[in-house]
Structure 1
Amino acid sequence: MRWPSLLLVLSFGLFGLGSQAAATEVAGVNFADRITLGDSELMLNGAGMRNRLMFKVYAIGLYLPQKSDTVSSALASKGPRRIQIVTLREISGEQLADALIEFLHKNLSKDELRKLDTRIETLRSTMLKFSASPEKTRIQLDYLPDTGTRLIVNNSQHGKDIPGEDFFNALMRVWLGEHVAQESLREALLGRKD
């Protein structure tokens, strides 16, 4: 191979590395460092993997308008936001809904739950409609200030938007609250993972 050809190959290799640096990889899943939601650009705040026992369950990324390394600043974020989940094994809608409900109950007061009860049931009933999410299913919980929380599975919206910023903040507390299934995942979503 001649030197000019070698330099060309090396330069393309370096450009390739540069483009890959625009994403964060978790368990083989790439999360873009920036996305557009509505008219807003969001930044990947952090990403991690949910494990249960020895099993990989899903990879998850949190997108916010600006970086936040504390729970309070993440919850105080204004504008669109996204929770992006990619399954790493088959998960049923019932399993996902039950896990969400369990950690909503662990992280919210009785008064907060009472205010959100109808909206929680709306999300739960929507999730129960899809029987199984095979490995690599992409699940988005998008918050759009004008309409509320939108559930999107593999680029297809399921159910109607659920109104209220308080509802999306409650969902964020499933992963960021005081009582979470995996503390290392909370740290990763807050960008505090080494």
Structure 2
Amino acid sequence: MKKYLFFILALCSIAMAPAQTKIGGVVLPNSLNYGNNSLVLNGAGVREKLWIDLYAGGLYLSDKTSDANTILMANKPMAIKLHIISKLITSDKMLDAVNEGFENSTNGNTSHISEEIKKFQNLFKEEIKKNDVFDLIYNPGKGVIVLKNGEEKGIIKGEEFKKALFGIWLANRPADDDLKEAMLGKS
């Protein structure tokens, strides 16, 4: 009888596994549904600069992988969720970081996506506050859908733009090496 009770308790604890991941003092869901796409949390971490936690970031994919190049080259649904955890993040600082990220992601070759980058920059001109949440959702054929606190702010078309955008966190010169490793599920 004790064996059966232990077995039932073990099954219940597996079934009640957390549907969320706590990182950087905030909670990220372990799965997301965007339209017809179900995505799972591939990995999550914290963007840190000068020992200050700036935001928690999670990478969501349809199939988990730890290969950054596979993710960047894939024309599949995916998303990055950014949860701002510092009062130090402002729109200007976010724009500076995004601009630097695009330069690093593309090895300085942004001319072919300059119009898309301008559209993306315009989406971050509104004030950014602690606890704001940004969802950057790539939907093949539609583009990158940008949500702020669940509200759609705009769509930027193009797979090349998606590669450069996701490259900010996953390319050879990412915004934060530790965050890249965490998003790839390696830490």
TM-score of the superposed pair, with normalisation by structure 2: 0.86
**What is the distance in 2 between the residues matched to 1:184 and 1:41?**
26
1:85 matched to which residue of 2? 82
1:3 matched to which residue of 2? none
Retained in 1: the 8 A contact 2:105–2:165?
no
70-79 or 147-156: bigger deviation: 70-79
1:192 lines up with 2:150 in the alignment: no
**What is the distance in 1 between the residues matched to 2:97 and 2:16?**
35
1:39 lines up with 2:39 in the alignment: no
1:28 lines up with 2:25 in the alignment: yes
Structure 2: which 5+ residue stretches go unaligned? 1-8
Higher RCO (CA 8 Å, separation ≥ 6 residues): 2
Retained in 1: the 8 A contact 2:75–2:159?
no
1:67 matched to which residue of 2? 64
Aligned with 1:100 (options 98, 101, 104): 98
Retained in 2: the 8 A contact 1:65–1:77?
no
- 1:54 is displaced (CA, Å) by 2.2
- 1:22 is displaced (CA, Å) by 2.3
2:53 matched to which residue of 1? 56
Q: Give the CA RMSD over aligned residues.
A: 2.0
1:181 matched to which residue of 2? 175
1:171 matched to which residue of 2? 165
- 1:20 is displaced (CA, Å) by 5.3
Once the two structures are superposed, the pairs formed by residues 9-28 of structure 1 within 5 Å of their partners are 19=16, 21-28=18-25
Q: What secondary structure does 1:127 align onto?
A: coil
Q: What secondary structure does 2:60 align onto?
A: strand
**What is the distance in 2 between the residues matched to 1:17 and 1:97?**
42
- 1:165 is displaced (CA, Å) by 1.4
User: Which residue identity does 1:176 align to in structure 2?
Assistant: L
- 1:126 is displaced (CA, Å) by 2.1
1:148 lines up with 2:146 in the alignment: no
- 1:109 is displaced (CA, Å) by 3.7
1:138 matched to which residue of 2? 133
Retained in 2: the 8 A contact 1:40–1:80?
yes
2:117 matched to which residue of 1? 120
TM-score of the superposed pair, with normalisation by structure 1: 0.84
